[in-house]
Every structure is written in C-alpha cells, then in structure tokens.
Amino acid sequence: MKNLVVYSSKTGNTRKLAEAIYEYLPAEKEIYPINEAPDPEDYTFVAVGFRIENGEPDQAAQKYLKKFIDEKELFLFATHASKPESEMVKAAMNKAKELAKRARIVGVFDCQGEVPEEVLEEARKQQPVPEWVKDAEEAKGHPKKEDIDRLIKLLNSLDLPL
C-alpha cells in the first residue's frame, strides 16, 4: 500500500491538516506540496487538501484533481474562512468531487482556517464585500487541536484501504 498526501496551502492552514493525515497514515507514505506532487496513479490511497478561494478549490488543486482517471481511493480536505457547513463550503467540496469524478471518494473534511489580516483588509475593499469576510473572525486560530482531533476521529471511522 502506497499512501500519498498532497496539499495546497498559502498560509499553512491546509498544511497543518496534511501533516496530521500524514502522521496518521501507516508505513509506506509520502507528503508533497501540490506543486511538487507526483502523479496519483502510483498510489493506493491519496488525500488531497486545498484552500477554498472564491467558493471553489484553489486553482492548483483543481488542476491536480483532474489527474484522477481511475477509481483510486481519495480523501478530500479543505480549509476556509467561512462558517462550517456553509453553502459556499458545500459547493467547493462538490466541485472538488466533480473534478475527481472517477476517483472513489472515501471521505471529506473541512474546517476553518485563519485568514491573514492583510488578506482581510483587501477583501473588505471589494464591492461587494465577499460573504466569507463576516465569518473570518471565527476562523482566527484555526485549525485548532480540536479540528485536528475531529479529522483523526473521522479518519478512524472510515474504511480506508491502508
């Protein structure tokens, strides 16, 4: 069994989740930032993480997810500033699933991630102000230990081919 964790992270939030998944996985495993990630076809299980931008997976993640051409075991995870279970988060996860439609999605996870103040300042200048900005205050400090614990609990509950 070869396991792969791939992540796209601008501020380190998604990388924290990726590292937790990597530590969870047994034996033969690799972890890469998305711009250095190998083709997923050589792995039994792949976890792909991304940040949600403009209501969808970031562009690097979208490109990588299109590489899934068979029924590979795929776990999706994401960070965002929006409220958990918001429509924007659901839409972004649905888009990720659609991009990797041939893969067998074994689970999904998302949690809030802290947004740098300079990014928030720029977003507040936009007209209209993006909806996620009002939720960003609640995202401060995330992902937290509780988020990581929830991620590991979810992984334990899945029938993963590890």
Mean pLDDT of 114-131: 92
Which residues touch 95 (CB under 8 Å, ≥6 apart)? 56, 57, 62
Q: How many residues are listed for the chain in this entry? A: 162
Please determine, for residue 162, whether its predicted confidence score (pLDDT) is greater than 80: no
Residue 61 has a pLDDT of 98
- Residue 9 makes CB contacts below 8 A (sequence gap 6+) with 15, 18, 33, 49, 51, 79
Alpha carbons 78 and 48: distance in angstroms, whole number: 8
Alpha helical stretches, state H, 8-144? 13-24, 59-65, 87-99, 117-125
The class (CATH top level) of 3-155 is: alpha beta
126 pLDDT more than 90: yes
Q: Which residues contact 130 (CB under 8 A, 6 or more apart)?
A: 54, 123
Instruction: Give residue 159's pLDDT.
Output: 83
Report, as an integer, the average pLDDT of 90-99.
Answer: 97
Question: Which 3 state secondary structure label does DSSP give 152?
Answer: helix
Backbone angles phi, psi at 125, to 5 degrees: -80, -15
pLDDT tops 80 at residue 116: yes
How do residues 52-89 score in pLDDT, each as one tens digit? 998 999 999 999 999 998 888 999 999 999 988 899 99
Q: What is the tens place of the pLDDT at every residue in 19-28?
A: 999 999 988 9
Average pLDDT score over the chain = 94
pTM of the full predicted structure? Answer: 0.94
Per-residue model confidence (pLDDT) at position 107? 96
User: Which of 63, 55, 54, 61 shows the shortest CA–CA distance to 14?
Assistant: 61
